[in-house]
């Protein structure tokens, strides 16, 4: 529990160094981003989101709305990661839809516009408060696509994805610029081409999702995480 919430100052516990990111505007509030043991909050949110999806769609129990869900949900919110919040809302909504029967399920479907409205609010708040981050993510999709087109079948090699940098905006490549890459799937395309992406990023999700509705929900949400998250520094 002590590792779940980052604090604003630097401190050392058991020879581990913790450094939280600066405060950001999130849903109208100015908060310190919870980075956990990671350099950036999105990576912490990614790990928490995978744990959340595993809890909701893989763990074989009907008592999914428990203390574990509460801890995971609250901690994802403290990361202020838009992707994490969206996955949290969609995952809980879909899992609830699976657990209900008859009239209750139809009533829940009627509340779907509310869930979509919440998603829209989160995206709008993200675009208003962190437009730079949004622009970088959009640029990463363009950059990744352009680099992939050079070698679409087998890519540039797993060990060398420096071609991505050739298409980045100039200000991102200078010293102190944000030259990281935010799309795991696009990085997969650049590194290994369509061949690698197909066998490691598409076929496994497709085959797993065909096994059941619950598996399909898990695969789709996990693919969304892979699409917009990457731990890559060029």
| Claim to verify: residue 123 and residue 90 sit in the same structural domain | yes
- The C-alpha angle 177, 228, 179, rounded to 5 degrees, equals 15
| Claim to verify: residue 122 and residue 137 sit in the same structural domain | no
| Kind plus residue range of the DSSP H or E element containing 162 | none
pLDDT in tens, 87-100: 998 899 889 888 87
| Claim to verify: residue 188 and residue 137 sit in the same structural domain | yes
By DSSP bridging, strand 29-32 and strand 16-18 are unpaired
pLDDT in tens, 131-148: 556 677 778 888 889 989
Let me know if residue 4 belongs to a domain. no
| Claim to verify: residue 118 and residue 135 sit in the same structural domain | no
What integer pLDDT is reported at residue 130 of this predicted model? 55
Provide the domain count of the chain. Answer: 2
> Domain boundary at 95, 129, 163, which?
129
Please answer whether residues 215 and 208 qualify as being in contact, where contact means their C-beta atoms are separated by less than 8 angstroms.
yes
| Claim to verify: residue 229 and residue 135 sit in the same structural domain | yes
pLDDT in tens, 12-52: 444 555 566 667 666 666 778 888 888 788 889 999 999 99
In the 3-class helix/strand/coil scheme, how is 39-87 assigned residue by residue? CCHHHHHHHHHHHHHHHHHCCCCCCCCCHHHHHHHHHHHHHCCHHHHHH
| Claim to verify: residue 169 and residue 107 sit in the same structural domain | no
Let me know if residue 205 belongs to a domain. yes
- List the domain range (segments joined by +) for residue 84: 38-129
| Claim to verify: residue 60 and residue 142 sit in the same structural domain | no
| Claim to verify: residue 108 and residue 138 sit in the same structural domain | no
> Domain boundary at 91, 113, 129, which?
129
Look at residue 59 and tell me whether its pLDDT is greater than 80. Answer: yes
Cβ of 177: how many Cβ atoms within 10 Å? 12
3 state DSSP class of 122 = helix
| Claim to verify: residue 119 and residue 152 sit in the same structural domain | no
| Claim to verify: residue 93 and residue 143 sit in the same structural domain | no
| Claim to verify: residue 51 and residue 125 sit in the same structural domain | yes
pLDDT in tens, 108-128: 677 677 777 777 766 666 655
> Domain boundary at 88, 114, 129, which?
129
Let me know if residue 6 belongs to a domain. no
What integer pLDDT is reported at residue 7 of this predicted model? 40
């Amino acid at each position: 529990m002590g590792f779940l919430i980052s604090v604003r100052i630097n401190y050392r516990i058991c020879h581990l160094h913790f450094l939280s990111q600066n405060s950001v505007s999130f849903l109208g509030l100015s908060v310190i981003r919870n980075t956990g043991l990671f350099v950036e909050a999105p990576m912490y949110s990614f790990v928490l989101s995978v744990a959340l999806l595993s809890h909701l769609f893989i763990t074989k129990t009907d008592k999914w709305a428990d203390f574990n869900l509460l801890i995971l949900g609250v901690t994802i919110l403290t990361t202020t990661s838009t992707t994490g919040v969206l996955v949290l809302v969609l995952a809980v909504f879909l899992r609830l839809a699976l657990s209900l029967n008859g009239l209750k399920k139809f009533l829940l479907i009627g509340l779907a516009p509310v869930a979509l409205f919440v998603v829209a609010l989160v995206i709008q708040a993200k675009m208003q408060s962190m437009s730079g981050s949004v622009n970088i993510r959009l640029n990463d999709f363009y950059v990744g696509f352009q680099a992939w087109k050079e070698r679409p079948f087998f890519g540039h090699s797993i060990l060398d994805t420096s071609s991505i940098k050739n298409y980045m905006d100039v200000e991102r490549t200078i010293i102190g610029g944000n030259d990281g890459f935010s799309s795991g799937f696009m990085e997969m395309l650049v590194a290994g081409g369509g061949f690698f992406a197909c066998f490691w990023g598409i076929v496994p999700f497709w085959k797993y999702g065909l096994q059941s509705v619950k598996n399909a929900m898990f695969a789709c949400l996990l693919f969304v995480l892979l699409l917009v998250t990457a731990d890559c520094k060029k």
